[in-house]
Structure 1
Amino acid sequence: MTTPTDITNTPDNIVCVFCGSSFGNSTEFADFATKLGESIASKNWGLVYGGGSTGLMGAVAKAVHNNGSYVHGIIPSSLVSKERKSSDELNNELKKSIDNHNGITPIDEYGKTTVVKDMHTRKKLMGQEAQAFIALPGGYGTLEEIMEIITWSQLGIHNKPIVFANVNGFYDELLKFISSSIKSGFINVKNGDIFKVAKSVDDVIRLIEEYQVPDGRFNLNWEES
């Protein structure tokens, strides 16, 4: 184990991981999250994520930070008490920083936390900081986050790698839905290549490194006039 890096030392490559604040009902999920965090750190990449210290969020953040890499958690003020298992004293300090909606406070031993006012700001900041996106298993929130990132790519807002970590077939049914949407003419065939699917941690890293932006995305101008 290496000494954790200074939280102000931001690496050039940062990946965003969307995942559940719960562990799920299989140890495979947490094991995968931990191994992913270790691999992210081994590449000297940083992590931006939803800021929780529970469930898969906590597992991946702990693994990245304990192996010496940058961790930045971004959490809405309303979720501090739900997705954080830290002491009441620390949570009270976090809540004191909410008035300005930009407070940065240590999250136990997992790097730094930025407290924001709402979910939209959380996603915007994660999207701006990350150079790639990974979806681990999770619930409604995880699905909403990764699908918006895919839509942003389709619309030409970004061209960054997107990878589903299909742990133990977790995303099989979602992938069937997307395939059905393509067959039914609601998603362009080429847009089906916006995201990649990995079954192992090594696959996740490789697919990020080898990612090629697919043809068929909308060439829209999102710059402010």
Structure 2
Amino acid sequence: MSSIAIFCGSAPGKDSVFVENARKVGETLAAQGKTLIYGGGRSGLMGVVADSTLAAGGRAIGVMPESLAEHELAHPHLTELHIVENMHARKIKMSELAEGFIALPGGSGTLEEIFEQWTWAQLGIHSKPCAFFNVAGFYDDLLKFLRQTSEKGFTQPRFCEALIVSNCIDNILQQFEQYRVPEMKWEVPELEWVQQELAK
């Protein structure tokens, strides 16, 4: 597994532990020779992960919609920067480039991105692992809610079990290498266009 997508906040958060762990993620990706795939921003945890990856000699590839790039929010020193039409194209491009997805602490955008990839995995659009880097218990309540969706019959247990959760980035990456794809939920012919976009 040579490329990892990181979803995280465009703000640094109010606790230095978030920045410290974002820096550790970048350093670890670089040390393991894995390319960082992320949203292309220079601020918040996004910028920290990119900066630490590059400082450690790693590769960082950003994917940013035109509207955000026009506001000069793009990181200026990336290995590559892909400017795409909109947010939907951004997620498709990131999914195409990455072999696994990790959510660091962040807000609604981070959640939207990781949940879409997790949903695509359930539908068989891709077979890549998804993980929550649970820094300082940041995702504890969310994970409790996801277990409830399974207990109440809205999420099949195998999909919750397939989510990788750890407060250690090395552990997450190790589990990625051992990932076993759960049986998909069902075939979804109307989503074949997504698969076609990812195959380009």
TM-score normalised by length of structure 1? 0.80
Indicate the residue corresponding to 2:186 in structure 1. Answer: 218
Indicate the residue corresponding to 2:15 in structure 1. Answer: 26
190-199 or 45-54, larger mean C-alpha shift: 190-199
Indicate the residue corresponding to 1:154 in structure 2. Answer: 122
Q: What is the letter of the counterpart of residue 2 of structure 2?
A: N
Q: What percent identity do the matched residue pairs reach?
A: 40
Indicate the residue corresponding to 2:176 in structure 1. Answer: 208
Q: What is the letter of the counterpart of residue 47 of structure 1?
A: L
Q: What is the letter of the counterpart of residue 98 of structure 2?
A: A
Q: What is the letter of the counterpart of residue 151 of structure 2?
A: K
Kindly provide the CA deviation profile for residues 2-56 of structure 1, in whole angstroms up to 9, marking residues without a partner as x: xxxxxxxxxx711100011100111111111110111111111101100101010
Distance 1:18 1:83 in 2: 20
Structure 1, unmatched stretches of 5+, are: 1-11, 87-106
1:79 alignment partner, one of 68, 74, 78: 68
Indicate the residue corresponding to 2:106 in structure 1. Answer: 138
**TM-aligned CA distance change 1:83 to 1:141, over 3 Å:** farther
1:181 alignment partner, one of 125, 149, 172: 149
* Moved beyond 6 Å, runs of 4+: none
Residues paired across the two proteins, number: 192
Q: What is the letter of the counterpart of residue 61 of structure 1?
A: A
TM-score normalised by length of structure 2? 0.89
Indicate the residue corresponding to 1:7 in structure 2. Answer: none
Q: Report deviation, 1:81.
A: 6.0
Q: Secondary structure at the match of 2:150?
A: helix
Q: Report deviation, 1:219.
A: 4.7
Distance 2:153 2:71 in 1: 40
Indicate the residue corresponding to 1:194 in structure 2. Answer: 162
Kindly provide the CA deviation profile for residues 125-155 of structure 1, in whole angstroms up to 9, marking residues without a partner as x: 0000101111001111000000000000000
Asked if 1:119 corresponds to 2:87, the answer is: yes
Q: What is the letter of the counterpart of residue 38 of structure 2?
A: Y
Indicate the residue corresponding to 1:43 in structure 2. Answer: 32
Asked if 1:53 corresponds to 2:48, the answer is: no
Kindly provide the CA deviation profile for residues 159-196 of structure 1, in whole angstroms up to 9, marking residues without a partner as x: 11111100011111110111110010001111212311
Q: What is the letter of the counterpart of residue 128 of structure 1?
A: E
Distance 2:137 2:156 in 1: 24
On the 8 A contact 2:36/2:60 being kept in 1, the answer is: yes
Distance 2:185 2:53 in 1: 33
176-185 or 75-84, larger mean C-alpha shift: 75-84
Indicate the residue corresponding to 1:16 in structure 2. Answer: 5
Q: Secondary structure at the match of 1:164?
A: strand
Distance 1:148 1:25 in 2: 26
**TM-aligned CA distance change 1:82 to 1:163, over 3 Å:** farther
**TM-aligned CA distance change 1:83 to 1:18, over 3 Å:** farther
Distance 2:17 2:171 in 1: 16
Structure 2, unmatched stretches of 5+, are: none
